[in-house]
Structures are given as structure tokens and as C-alpha cells.
Structure 1
Amino acid sequence: MKKKIVLFIVLALLLTQMPIIGKYFSIVNTLIHEMGHSLMAIITGGKVQSISLFSNTEGATLTSYQFWIGGFLTSASGYVFSSFIAFLFMILIYKGKSKYVLTVLLGVLVVSLLFWIRNPFGLFWIVTFIAGFSWTLVKGSKVFLEYVALFLTTLLLVESITSSFQVMYLSFISPQSAGDATNLSRMTRLIPAPIWGVLFFIQSLYFGKLGLNKFFRKKPSS
């Protein structure tokens, strides 16, 4: 399994650098990120109007909230949620529960389509992804499904870390346009965007390390 993990991580890194197909698959992480914002908004008593997905892998979630803490937690949840889901999927893969990875992802896709995705590209992406995903679940062999789950898990792992690095980088060179880091800086006022960017990146490395440790930790000698 160690060799498979390394191989699929390399494949995910290479794929995400490809112009069109790479962005298409990378949007899986974007959807998970935006779902994190949406779930936190609902948990804290807010509302979700819509989720938009774009061809450049960016996303936007339109929410409303009653209290400052709800808006704060909603803004902070996107990167943390995608990192946590990547970690959770790695644990499921480690325990041989690949089917649950696919089930959770399909659930996220269907719920997002039914309730929140409304922009044209977002609708195109999620309909085509659900169609391909459903065909894979129906027609794919057990081994093939396990490989698909492993591929999507390593893709989320890679994207959760690289996207967190990108927002950290942006928070230093352009703190007024660094997405969630900028929003949190404006909400807290005393904590600048670069600090939030660094925190986002650190948490992505932390969850990534927790998940990978399951596969690469040394077994105690008898």
C-alpha cells in the first residue's frame, strides 16, 4: 500500500498541473472546500444561498449569518474542512473502507446539485462528474473502485495542501485579495491576512501528516 500511495500522490501532482483535465478534477477539492463553508454556516444558524464553481478551480459560497461568530467560523472552515476530509478518506482507505469514500463523495455531489450549485459551469461540472462517477460505481470492478477511491483521496490530499499554500502565498504578496485569509483579517482586524494564511497551511500539513502516518509509520518490532 505504501508504494500505491506514493504512486497516486505523484499522479495527482502531475494531473493537477495539466491545463484542462487537471483543473476539471481539482474542482473536487473546491467543492469540498465550499461545502465546508456551507455546513458551518448551517451549523451556526446561518443560511446558504448558493455555491458557484469556476473553470479556474476557484469557488464561492454565498451565505448569510446572524452573529459575528457564525461568519467567522464559516470563513475559517473551508480549508480546514477539505484537509479534514482528505485525512478522513486516508483513514478509510487504510481500513479498507474504500466504498465509504465513494459513498460520501457521491452524497456531497448530489446534495450540492440539489440545493446549492446554480452557476452554469458549476452545473455542467457537477452533472458530468456525477454521470461519470455513477457509471464507475455501477460498472467498475471492486479493484477499479478501490483505485478510484485512492486516486480521489490522494488528489484531495495534494489539493488541500497546495491550495492552502497558495492562499498563504497570496496573503503575503497581496493581502487584500487572499480569499478566506483576507475575510478573516477584516473580521478580526487585529490579525493580518498572512497569519491566517500561515495557519491554513500549517493545518493542511498537520492533517496530511496524520493521514500519511497511518501508512508510513514503523511497525513495532516483536
Structure 2
Amino acid sequence: MVSFDGLTDLWDRLFSAQPDPPPLLVVLTGLAALLVVSTRLPWRVARNAITIAHEGGHALVALLTGRKLRGIRLHSDTSGLTLSAGRPSGPGMILTLLAGYVAPPLVGLAGAWLLGGNRITLLLWVAVVLLLAMLVMIRNAFGVVSLLVTGGVVLAVSWYTSPQVQAAFAYTGVWFLLLGGVRPVVELQRLRSRGRMPASDADQLAGLTPFPAFFWVAVFALVNLVVLAIGAILLADPLLDGTLLPTR
């Protein structure tokens, strides 16, 4: 049985603020995330995290708009599929389709907000809870393994590593979500221009609205770039405290 003191310690561990990270850590983790996003093999592996956030965005908005979530599938080629039941048109379906490509940077923005308050451990535990909640709706083996591995890594870092390692891991992950939300939009338009994604989210939105698919691709890109800028400002707060600036 868990003691009161144990619960108090856990509460303090989750909700207490960690020390400010070194400004150099913020810079290096941002560069590391940018390197992953811009190179082929690292991106191919890490893109699974973007897919998890993408499909999670579809699923969450489907539930919030009253649609019935049927399941989520994650595939080894980093693609995914979220199935929901409800009206095939209307605001609920439009918002559900819109949510996928903008979800990763928005999740990153929420993470940047938590990091701005130095709630690093809380951020990692929230990530674990969200992954477990999503696991309930996964309908294929690769998806289950992908979420368990991702959640296990995050949990291990939050429980067994030092505050410095937690900070480096959390900042890298948040930078990656912010930066990694931009590349899939570019890839989407490249594939569409070659006729290889006729049923993309953008094309489905075009079928439900008066606007062409390219308009929705542009919306995805604009939202993700704006969110990236805001998230970068939040993450750069330690740099603005004067530590890296010349003193007088």
C-alpha cells in the first residue's frame, strides 16, 4: 500500500519546477532535432513519433466533435490511419481531417509551455499518460509495439535519469515535434504533385469544402510555421535571461 509520504513525494516530483536548463542545452537540443529532421535515415526512424502525434490529433478531435472512434493503426512505413464513425461531412469531419498535420507542432507547443515553467518531469509523465490512452485504440501489432517502446523510453528517462538528462531529452523531443511538423507538409505536397496521394487529408478536405487541396496544404504549412515560431520563443527563454548575453 502506498503511504501518504510516498504520494507526497510523487506529487512533489511531478509538479515541482526543475532548475533552469543551461542555455547551451537549449541550443544544442534544437540543433540535434533539426539534424534529425533534415537527414534521411534518422528522420525515417524518428518520424514514427510524428505519426503518433498526427493520428492522435485525428483521434482526439474526432472524439471532441462527437464522432465515434473506431481505432488507430500505425504502420512500419511511418504512415497511419484513424477510423471514426459519424457524418461523412460537416464541421466534425472537417476538423478531424484538419487536425492531423497540425497536431505534432501543437503538441510541441504545449510541451514548450510546460518547459517554460521548468515542469520537465511533468511533461514526460503527461506524454506517458497520453501514449497509454492512445494505446487503448490501437488496432495492429506494430502500433502496439511502437507505442509501448516510445512510452517505455519516456517513462525510463523520467524515472531513472538525472534532471540534466531529463532536460536534454525533453527539450530534444519538443524541438523535434515543432520542427518535425513542417517536413511532412512538404512531403505531402511533393507526393500530391506526383499523383501518389489522391486520398490525402488535404484532398479529402477539398472534397468537403469549396477550397482546393493546395489551399489546405498551405493552411497546414502556415499553422505549423507560426506554431514553430511561438514554440521557439518559449524554448529560447533561458537564452533571453542574459546567460549567453554579454554582461556590463
TM-score, normalisation: structure 2 = 0.78
- What does the per-residue CA deviation read over 1:172-192, in whole Å, with 9 as the maximum and x for residues that have no partner? 44385362111101111x311
- Number of residue pairs the alignment of both structures matches: 217
Q: Distance in 2 between matches of 1:112 and 1:75?
A: 18
Structure 2 distance, partners of 1:38, 1:112, is 9
- Counterpart selection for 2:217 from 177, 197, 204: 197
Match of residue 126 from structure 2: 104
**CA displacement, residues 2-31 of structure 1 (integer Å, 9 cap, x when unaligned):** 543332222123334352x54333211211
CA distance, structure 2, for counterparts of residue 4 and residue 178 of structure 1: 41
1:107-155 deviation per Cα after TM superposition (whole angstroms, max 9, x unaligned)? 1111111x21121211121122222222222211121111111111111
For the residue of structure 1 that corresponds to 2:214, the secondary structure is: helix
Distance in 1 (alpha carbons) for counterparts of 2:187 and 2:222: 12
Change (3 A) 1:191 1:176: farther
Cα distance change, pair 163–176 in 1 and its aligned pair in 2 (3 A): closer
Q: RMSD across aligned C-alpha pairs, in angstroms?
A: 2.4
Question: What is the Cα deviation at residue 218 of structure 1?
Answer: 6.4
- Using CA pairs under 8 Å that are at least 6 residues apart, name the structure with larger relative contact order, 1 or 2: 2
| Aligned mates of 1:58, 1:175 — CA distance in 2 | 14
- Residues of 2 paired with 1:197 and 1:170: CA distance? 12
Q: Which has the larger radius of gyration?
A: 2
TM-score in terms of structure 1 length: 0.87
1:166 matches 2:153:
no
User: Contact conserved, 2:29 with 2:175, CA < 8 A, in 1?
Assistant: yes
Shift in alpha-carbon separation, 1:133–1:83, aligned structure 2, 3 A: closer
Alpha-carbon shift at residue 88 of structure 1 (Å): 1.5
Distance (Å, rounded) in 2 between the aligned partners of 1:159 and 1:3: 21
Letter in 2 for 1:160: G
Letter in 1 for 2:222: I
The answer to whether the 8 A contact 1:171-1:181 is kept is: no
Please, which runs of 5 or more residues in structure 2 have no aligned partner?
Answer: 1-21, 242-248
Asked if 1:152 corresponds to 2:140, the answer is no
